[in-house]
Amino acid sequence: MSVIREELLRAVEAWKADDPDPDTRAELDRLIAQGDAAGLADRFAGSLQFGTAGLRGLLGAGPNRMNRKVVLRATAGLCAYLLETVPGAAERGICIGFDGRRLSTELARDAASVACGMGIRVFAFEHVVPTPLVGFACLERNAAAGIVITASHNPPDYNGYKVYWSNGAQIIPPIDEGIAAAIDRVGSVESIPRASAGDAGLYEVLGPDVERRYLDAIRKLQLHPELPRAVSIAYTAMHGVGARLAIQALNEAGFTDIASVREQEEPDGRFPTVAFPNPEEAGAMDMVLALAKEKKADVVFANDPDADRLAVAVRHASGEYVQLTGNDVGCLLGHYLLEQQPGEKRLVINTIVSSPMLGAIARAHGARWEQVLTGFKWIANRAIALEAEGERFVLGYEEALGYTVGSVVRDKDGIGTAVVVADLAAWCKENGRTLLDELEVAWRRYGMYLSRQVAKVLPGAEGAQQIAAIMERTRAEPPASIADRKVVAFVDLARGERRHADGRIEPAGLPHGDVIALELEGDHRVMLRPSGTEPKIKFYFDVRVDIAPDEAIEAARARGEALLAELVAGLDL
């Protein structure tokens, strides 16, 4: 037990007096009784910041946690900003959905009560739904905004508050800044207007007809629905909300040989069989891979808890399963969609930390390729802007297992993508190949692109200073070469410029951000970026390897992996 500062106690008591949730009030009382000064200090060490991902944080009491009071104030600020800036916002309304995490139902109801209380129509899902379905509903209803209560693939003790704007995409600056400022102007929770669904006359339940139209739309994304669907699939929802719609979507697309991990099929915010419900984490897919091996499934699909991401694994000839990276899946989709869908003004987009292989694929097919800052919000908003200029958006992806095909949803869609990947697997099987074989076809045609990410964890204030120093030192004295590969261009997105080795300077052509890219001879690349959510600096390495006609793919990969290792060792971290 330690002494709790009077100033901190006053802040706690002031918060409790305006907290509508007896559970979080009791949490603070317990911490006070236990003399847990550190626990209280952490909960009151600032506030969760509203940004381009909305809000996300640990569940608990206080301004630095996700709780009912934080969501009530956030919704009041969002609604005030909508009414100020979006014509017809009250009538256009807000779509609201939620996942299966702890407190998601209550937070969604609170958000709806504030919107109705402020005179804004609400279109709400009454049961847990995948995040992509909310994004689809926002577009279909031409809503002024959307809210999803979800923490996506974060650990079990987290929850979040995701916001879509009137274009159906996640918010970007300056909208997030405007909403944050409006939240700061909100008074006490008691002062926020609230209305129950029945009293307001503004509340409409979104029913199965929305699901029906979403399923119809993603089924049309298939390129070869006429081919046999002789592809066996092992699937897991990872205790999330994807199973029902994902399996139905695959069934309606003709894929009926699906084995689902029953223990992980129903939404469960405790995530009892997965410590970290992110398909990229080691061990997260163990159960579905074991099921796949038992059933000898051709492919394996895993959605994250809100089903906006998709992981894919493929059965190798040896009987073992190879998990594809996000870049593997994104580039396979780009190769398939552009090759099988000829036409003009086709557009593909990925983030700057995703593989440049998509650019090689686009060039080979006469399509336009763009890269944007990290985060799917940038992909969706850039696609919308270029579509207004006549481009036809085909695919967007980020290396963290996020993809969208076409414009059915203006965000990641792990269900729609599963249907398209299954369609691709069926096309491969009809042609005597697997997804792994088709990836080899792509590598031999466009070059083998391999990627690696290295993160350096530097916690605390001292760590933040070290990260800033690394970025500043690289800007001040960029290396002339890395592992004997000459740096041919230095890209600094903070300054918005690309400096070539010959002294030429040109605009970087991307929004400003704290990102540095070192472009190397041989079409290799190294990038540096501080994490926006963790005390880390991240380094991204991309290499390109040409494969000789008679060279085994394993030999080419070994050369590429060796080059990646050289670059990692050659960069002074």
Instruction: Name the strand (E) or helix (H) holding 366.
Output: none
Cβ 41 vs Cβ 8: under 8 Å: yes
| Half-sphere exposure for 226 (CA within 13 Å, toward CB) | 0
Residues 6+ apart with CB under 8 A from 161: 54, 55, 56, 66, 70, 71, 74, 107, 111, 147, 148, 149
Cβ–Cβ < 8 Å for 113, 196: yes
Cβ contacts of residue 379 below 8 Å, gap of 6+? 349, 350, 351, 372, 396, 397, 398, 404
Looking only at the bridges linking them, the beta strands covering 536-545 and 524-530 are antiparallel
Closest by Cα among 157, 146, 67 to 106: 67
- Alpha-carbon dihedral 20, 21, 26, 28, rounded to 10 degrees: -70
Give dist(CA 125, CA 73) in Å, integer.
Answer: 21
C-alpha pair distances (Å), 565 with each of 399, 447, 557: 20, 19, 12
E strands present in 271-345: 299-303, 310-315, 321-323
Count the neighbouring beta carbons within 10 Å of the beta carbon of residue 344. 9
* Residue matched to tokens 């907290």: 19
Q: Which helix (H) or strand (E) holds 418?
A: helix 414-430
Alpha-carbon dihedral of residues 245, 268, 22, 194, nearest 10 degrees? 0
Options 104, 152, 260, 354, the catalytic residue: 152
Residue 147 CA to residue 493 CA, distance in Å, equals 31
Classify the phi-psi angles of 503: left when phi > 0, otherwise alpha if psi is within -120 to 50, otherwise beta: left
Cis ω on the peptide bond leading into residue 279 (within 30° of 0)? no
Helix (H, G, I), strand (E, B) or coil at 482: strand
User: Token pair for residue 277?
Assistant: 């419900």
User: What is the spatial distance between Cα 15 and Cα 37, in angstroms, rounded to a whole number?
Assistant: 16
120 to 115, 235, 316: CA distances (angstroms)? 5, 39, 53
The C-alpha atoms of residue 80 and residue 77 are separated, in whole angstroms, by: 5
152 in active site: yes
Residues designated catalytic: 152
